[in-house]
A = this chain, B = another copy of it.
Amino acid sequence: MATNAFVKYRKKDFPTDEIRRFLEPGPIVLVSSAWKGRMNIMTMGWHMMMGFSPALFACYIWDQNHSFEMIRRSRECVINLPTTELLDIAIDIGNCTGATVDKFERFELTAGRATRVDAPLIEECYANFECRLLDGSRARKQNFFIWEVVKAHVASSPKLPETFHYRGNGEFMISGKTVSRRSRFLEQNL
């Protein structure tokens, strides 16, 4: 039972073709998975958008991570977007292995039920993106996965999350203000 001080964000369904709003800026995400009755979480910074509709998302998962085989075999995961309150927990999640640690229990995180996959949602994250494997043909060779995001849950408030972005060497960039240049864009380039 979670007893930590972190908010469980109240979320609404969100259009999958608009998830770039949260993922394209390049935040650190937490990847949750489930396989044979076990759950796990890993911290990830190497990812990118690859399409709007269907919503495609690609990532690199090092094959030495315990999550690698869980994700590759289950062909599912959830991409969870943490805010800066979870910065230290995101580091600590990377400092231990799911081979010996139940990370939901150790970090008092709440595993919520997803609607389209068996992998759990992390309720303390601002957003959760349920993913099914679209293309795992380069998983073994290049640690590269392409996912279809089949369901998105995003917090109703605040309107935008404060996220953290890794620079290596233990340093993080914290997301700053958002500015609109909408009127400068050609409509088809928005």
Residue numbers of A with Cβ under 8 A of B are 18, 20-22, 24-27, 45-50, 58-60, 87-88, 91-92, 94-95, 135, 142-144, 146, 160, 165-186, 189-190
Contacts and interface: CB of A to CB of B under 8 A. Distances in A.
A137 to B, nearest CB: 10
A49 B143 CA distance: 12
What is the oligomeric copy number? 2
Chain A interface secondary structure, helix, strand, loop or mixed?
mixed
A88 B18 contact: no
Closest 4 CB pairs of A and B: A26-B26, A170-B182, A176-B176, A25-B165
Nearest to A62: B51
A89 to B, nearest CB: 10
A20 B167 contact: yes
A25 B178 contact: no
A91 B185 CA distance: 7
